[in-house]
Structure 1
Amino acid sequence: MSAPAAENLNVYTSLFQQISDKTRLKILLYLHEEELCVCNLMDLLQVSQPSVSQHLRKLRDAGIIQVRKQGQWKYYRMNMDFPQYSVLLKLINDMPSLKGEIERLKQDERRITCTM
């Protein structure tokens, strides 16, 4: 295998390692629908803030997602400049949408909200 082909294979291996975790995959499915903050993801995933932050850090370090800071809040979104974004998008588009879960979260008036 040539050096460029081996490097390319390593990039895809890294991508598949990141999305092989169920929580990170769900985060990507949510972020495919819209930009969200940590508290939104905590509510959607029903996991702690440290857990969500750890998964977001891994995805951000891999270049798969981006963060935007606004005041005290950080908002996460898919990185459309990620080199394998088109491959990731094909995979995500083949999976069930989680948009309904986001809509239910928006309609839940009992929850504390930072953005919605």
Structure 2
Amino acid sequence: MLKTTVEIEKAASILKLLGDKTRLTTIKILDKHDCCVCELVEIFNASQPAISQHLRKLRDIGLIREERKGQWIFYSVNKTNEFYPFVQQIIEQLPSQDHKLKELEEKGTRIICC
């Protein structure tokens, strides 16, 4: 794997962004699973506008992308982003968050889109 360096200013911006527990957890979840805003609202027990703000900040620097599927907009990590290798090194150190999605499935609130 080719190692790239990240300028200190950009690294500081990314680390500040990921310094928020909700955004850090969101990136960890979205690294393996596409999710809709409403699923993240349920996971974090937060308002839709609050979750949308977190997603906007992550989207503004290109770390996540959105894709419309029917009436839903799903978010995922943008693994082609130039800073993804830097972020990936961080999130690989975190515990799996798959149990949060499993809980949604068990409650019947996980959105499965064809």
Structure 1 length normalisation: TM-score? 0.85
Query: Rg: which structure is higher?
Result: 1
Give the Å deviation of 1:86.
1.1
State the partner residue of 2:72: 73
**Structure 2 stretches lacking a partner, 5+ long:** none
| Number of residues of Structure 1 aligned to a counterpart in Structure 2 | 109
State the partner residue of 2:58: 59
Distance 1:58 1:46 in 2: 19
Task: Give every structure 1 segment of 4 or more consecutive aligned residues whose post-TM-superposition deviation is greater than 4 Å.
Answer: none
Structure 2 length normalisation: TM-score? 0.87
Distance 2:103 2:52 in 1: 22
Distance 2:99 2:70 in 1: 28
State the partner residue of 2:100: 101
Q: Is the 8 A contact 1:33 1:98 kept in 2?
A: no
Q: Structure 1: which amino acid aligns with 2:21?
A: K
Q: Is the 8 A contact 1:37 1:73 kept in 2?
A: yes
Matched, 1:26 2:17: no
Matched, 1:115 2:108: no
Query: What is the CA RMSD across the aligned residues, in angstroms?
Result: 1.8
- The aligned runs of 1:80-95 (5 Å cut-off) are 80-95=79-94
Distance 1:61 1:84 in 2: 13
**Structure 1 stretches lacking a partner, 5+ long:** none
Distance 2:106 2:31 in 1: 20
Give the Å deviation of 1:51.
0.3
Distance 1:82 1:18 in 2: 15
Distance 2:18 2:84 in 1: 12
Q: Structure 1: which amino acid aligns with 2:64?
A: I
Matched, 1:17 2:16: yes
Distance 1:48 1:115 in 2: 21
Q: Percent identity?
A: 32
Q: Structure 1: which amino acid aligns with 2:14?
A: L
